[in-house]
Structure 1
Amino acid sequence: MDLTTQYLGLTLRNPVVASAGPLSQTVAGVRELAAGGVGAIVMYSLFEEQVRRELLRDAELEQAHDESFAEALSYFPASAERAEPGVADRYVDLVRRAAQAVDVPVIASINGSSLGGWIEIARQLGDAGASAIELNIFLVPGDLRVTGDEVERQHLDIVTAVRRATDLPLAVKLSPFFSSPGNMALRLIEAGADGLVLFNRFIQPEVDVEALTVKPSVALSSRFEGRLPRTWIASLARHTNASLAATSGVEESSDVVRYLLAGADVVMSTSALVRHGAGYAHSLLMGLQDWMARHDYASVDQFRGLLAVPSDVDADAVARAGYVAALENARRVYGSIHR
């Protein structure tokens, strides 16, 4: 049975990919994920804010001593020659060691929301052995005066800048909260993305009603969350040759199958692997193979995109018909509850 798949121009042994998360923070964790059977591993993210803080600290150090005697300047090394490796240096080194430790592609992850020198790190990641870069654009405009056009333009500018900085295959992980997610997806591909990861999950705060405070909250995804990315993957699959990666809502092998039927090239998971351990990827793959055997499929390519929206139909009408059908079904199921 052939489980191989193509993603970002890379040939993967199977379509189950470990997405960025706590399990890929160490070389030992990366080895465990590879041993568990995943087709590729996305490293945990290097955050723009981490790099910016370090650059600012170095700049302040140099500025504080720029009036010193020339003889004394040598005691304050430039940021590129700091005594200890910085956060970006440590991340690049981790990617290098991870890539050397496993026989599956290692994908570096950069999380940012603006342009800046931190993008140049993309060049170093290629030299370190990363097979590709996943650009996680986590942009939440707090300024209520910022328009949707400005948000979209900032996304496109970031992708364009990273594309110029590296020749590595580039995937963009984006939010579903655009007025037209499908159009935005196609524009990101035009700007230089080789693939899309659908979708980013915004970390939303929780309200503590006793302490009367707002606190950060992180929750693992649920199976229900897979419906939104599947909808857009099914809509995009027939309209682009770029790679489509699914993420969120993967708990069982049937969820992997659903995403592949919608047209995903790979199916990413963090929550299920955190819940059940890195070896759970093997269970997802066994379930996928069992389903393929029951339906007489010899390869993933034979059924990938089988349920994607055809390119020659009125997509708006299809979406509207699905909406109406769902409401009619809901009336049948729940309509008599209050009678």
Structure 2
Amino acid sequence: MKQRLKARYLGLDLKSPLVPSASPLTATLSGARALEDAGAAAIVMHSLFEEECQKDQQMLHQFLYDREQGHAESEGYLPEPDGFKTAEERYLETLKQMKEHLEVPVIASLNGITRRGWSEHARQIAEAGADALELNVYYVAADAEESSQDVERRYLDILHAVRSSVPDLPLAVKISSQFTSPVHFVSQLKQVGASAVVLFNRFLQPDIQLDTRRLHSMLELSHSGELRERLRWIAIVRAQVAIDIAVTGGVHSAEDVLKAQMCGADITQMASALMQRGPGIIREMESMLLDWLDENEYDNLLQLKGSVSYRNAADPAGFERANYLQTLDSWRP
């Protein structure tokens, strides 16, 4: 029965397209176990942030420097650094634990800031046994001197550095929707060595506190309405670039999963839905997917995949400008 929902992503055979994305829920072995028990087909670990690694290294360096410069009589009062673990060490330890105790594939997630950091951390992650690596490139282009080509080159340089460091590890690149020509850019990513793309990264927007005139960080969970932008580009990319596609952002129901499959997504990643409703939602969605296949006389989910992509849609122009005109014409007072 479960074979009816099988999927393939990054060279991995999965029992379904239902995959928890990077979030606090995937930051611990216990959290990952709960998700696996609930039916998750794979686990995307929380991201390793290079800034945290740099901060820990600076703290450790300062600690050792203070020991070296300190008075000999005080050395016995200073704690030994052997018990201190950096963010990377903690991450790799958790990754190894997940690989040892979980049956589903474990996809690591990396969020770097320097070319050297991207490649070095990726190498450590590969050596720790990750089944694949998701490059979470979270970059806001805020420099007036930086062109759109410069931004794209930044992503491509990161991917090239990581691919050179880990030539055999399947790589997914998580990108935003704010590119001038997303399809062309995805094609470039594939040429440089991407095995998959994740559409799309959600840029968290700051608010402003009126009384203090300070920026206020806010975490707003996604909703199904955000899926529509992703469906458009999944359908268009699927028709033109032979690359694996994961959708993230706006997946909250079995209906959302079906729509993503129709447009051509290989897997659907979820975070907000799991944080709101708990791991049990995976089993619920799995059951609803099977019911839908029965009601609509499909043998399996793969038969549905890409049936409404740009190439196969009855009205492909609906993914482009025609959608704008039709929507305006449909309004009535």
Q: Is the pair's TM-score, using the shorter chain for normalization, greater than 0.5?
A: yes
Percent identity, please. Answer: 36
1:146 corresponds to: 146
Equivalent residue runs for 1:221-236 within 5 Å: 221-236=222-237
Pick from 13, 26, 32 the counterpart of residue 15 of structure 2. 13
1:328 corresponds to: 329
Unaligned runs of 5+ in 2: 71-75
Equivalent residue runs for 1:100-111 within 5 Å: 100-111=100-111
Residue 323 of structure 1 deviates from its aligned partner by 2.2
2:217 corresponds to: 216
Alpha-carbon distance change, 314 to 3 in structure 1, aligned in 2, over 3 angstroms: closer
1:130 corresponds to: 130
Alpha-carbon distance change, 161 to 315 in structure 1, aligned in 2, over 3 angstroms: farther
Q: SS state of the match for residue 320, structure 2?
A: helix
Q: SS state of the match for residue 5, structure 2?
A: coil
Per the normalisation by structure 1, the TM-score is 0.88
- How far, CA to CA, are the matches of 1:262 and 1:165 in structure 2? 33
Equivalent residue runs for 1:6-155 within 5 Å: 6-58=8-60, 84-155=84-155
User: Does the CA-based 8 Å contact 1:32-1:279 persist in structure 2?
Assistant: no
2:73 corresponds to: none
Q: Which moved more, 1:11-20 or 1:135-144?
A: 135-144
1:42-91 alpha-carbon deviations (Å, 9 max, x no partner): 000001211222344455667789999xxxxxx9xxxxx96522110110
Aligned length: 321
Q: SS state of the match for residue 232, structure 2?
A: helix
1:254 corresponds to: 255
Alpha-carbon distance change, 93 to 248 in structure 1, aligned in 2, over 3 angstroms: same
1:3-43 alpha-carbon deviations (Å, 9 max, x no partner): 11110010001001000001011100000000110111100
Query: In structure 1, what residue type is equivalent to 2:111?
Result: N
Per the normalisation by structure 2, the TM-score is 0.90
Q: SS state of the match for residue 257, structure 1?
A: helix
Residue 112 of structure 1 deviates from its aligned partner by 2.3
Q: SS state of the match for residue 207, structure 1?
A: strand
User: Does the CA-based 8 Å contact 1:44-1:109 persist in structure 2?
Assistant: yes
1:163 corresponds to: 163
- How far, CA to CA, are the matches of 1:115 and 1:280 in structure 2? 38
Q: SS state of the match for residue 214, structure 1?
A: strand
1:260-316 alpha-carbon deviations (Å, 9 max, x no partner): 101000001000000010121111111111111111111111010100001899977
2:293 corresponds to: 292
Unaligned runs of 5+ in 1: 69-74, 76-80
Moved over 6 A (4+): 61-68, 311-317
Query: In structure 2, what residue type is equivalent to 1:41?
Result: I
User: Does the CA-based 8 Å contact 1:112-1:139 persist in structure 2?
Assistant: no
Q: SS state of the match for residue 35, structure 2?
A: helix
User: Does the CA-based 8 Å contact 1:8-1:242 persist in structure 2?
Assistant: no
1:181 corresponds to: 182
Alpha-carbon distance change, 313 to 53 in structure 1, aligned in 2, over 3 angstroms: farther
1:119-163 alpha-carbon deviations (Å, 9 max, x no partner): 312122222221100000001123232211111110100011111
Q: Which moved more, 1:212-221 or 1:309-318?
A: 309-318
Residue 194 of structure 1 deviates from its aligned partner by 0.1
- How far, CA to CA, are the matches of 1:115 and 1:66 in structure 2? 32
